Copies of this chain bind each other. A is one copy, B any other.
């Protein structure tokens, strides 16, 4: 249900917010930041080119106290009621000029502030709900058997590494690892030669559950604090050799990049859509994964973009080049289904935990979410406007993920960049 906070005519007295591609007053995403020249991480809200410090803003004491933690965990733990009230209050504070004198002293320029990983992540789980990606990558690793029989019954996921998640802007070092060429009997230890990105939706967890008590799918939305972008950097050569039988490990845990702003479910309300019907012949989800309200509004229509800026392009002053344009509509399972499945065995989710959607590829090559897919395993290099080509990533390449939601009658909102540059191996 949209409300006055979504009114496209609503304007902020923070002038940079009006017409801002990402952070107009209709967005109001939450993040953790350190203001320029001030010590101490705290929680803030992006508005145009500024960040409102929630520890000092005229909001409820409960929220100011939670905002003083160096991460969104405490605020996420307060749940959706508090978050919805906060949105209404912020919308009023930042639109009504009567509040300007009280609020303006607590605005900090985003430029110069340090944006951190939004929460202290307890656990990070990566799903695999992009069905075109699962099919494409399955063809590379298992040509005869791309989409396994469990895929349409189980929202497949696995545990990722929380310690190596970094905020947008932190460089990623090329990993070394065991590489085994198909024509060699033995592996060698060397820098990764098939370094890749993965375009994913990040999901941040709210209150969560006690170990042993599942979250029924009808209650899942109450435990989703918000959304962001995730680049699940992947070393394809390490992955191919190590991943059997227990899954990806060193191929993924050398670094993952998240966008620093958490876009709330409230901000995304206008961009929800019914979950697309399953293709004819696909099995119905088991009852614990099926909810009428979730089917009616469980999908999102959010454009997802991958861009590359190589060192040579940077040297020539060129703009980043789009590698892919995809959309969250290509998720086979909804986020509520992911949460219900994850806790169906009693596993506990905690405030600030991170879920990844898995790579979200469109059905066509212009919308594939990884180079492994776009270049068909490195066989068909991508041409860049600088005259360069890429089979996989080279040192100095910067990858930028972006997301944007737009719909007639509503102000479009963006997620802010999720970007990082590859450093050479040590």
Contact = CB atoms under 8 A, between A and B. Distances in A.
Contact of A158 (B150, B156, B249, B344): B249
Contact of A250 (B180, B192, B347): B347
A177 interface: yes
A187 B283 CA distance: 10
Contact of A242 (B156, B353, B423): B156
Contacts of A212: 173, 254-255, 423, 426
Contact of A164 (B161, B211, B235): B211
B187 A250 contact: no
B250 A248 contact: no
A89 interface: no
A156 B347 contact: no
Contacts of A353: 163
A241 B154 contact: yes
Contacts of A246: 128, 156-158, 247-248
A186 B163 CA distance: 37
A288 B189 contact: yes
Contacts of A242: 150, 154, 156
Interface string A331-348: 000000000011011111
Given A159-B161, A249-B159, A214 B176 contact: yes
A158 B157 CA distance: 13
A240 to B, nearest CB: 10
Contacts of A241: 150, 154
Contacts of A175: 345-346
Interface in A128-172: 128, 138, 141-142, 148, 150, 153-154, 156-164, 166
Contacts of A166: 211
Contact of A345 (B158, B211, B250): B250
Contacts of A154: 178, 187, 241-242
A150 B240 CA distance: 10
A385 to B, nearest CB: 31
A37 B286 CA distance: 48
A153 B187 contact: yes
A55 to B, nearest CB: 25
Interface centre among A158, A162, A213 (most CB of B within 10 A): A158
Given A153-B180, A162-B162, 9 more contacts: A122-B163, A150-B180, A156-B246, A158-B158, A159-B253, A163-B347, A176-B345, A212-B255, A250-B347
Which 7 residue pairs across A and B have the least CB separation, nearest first? A247-B247, A175-B345, A159-B159, A158-B246, A173-B212, A246-B247, A254-B345
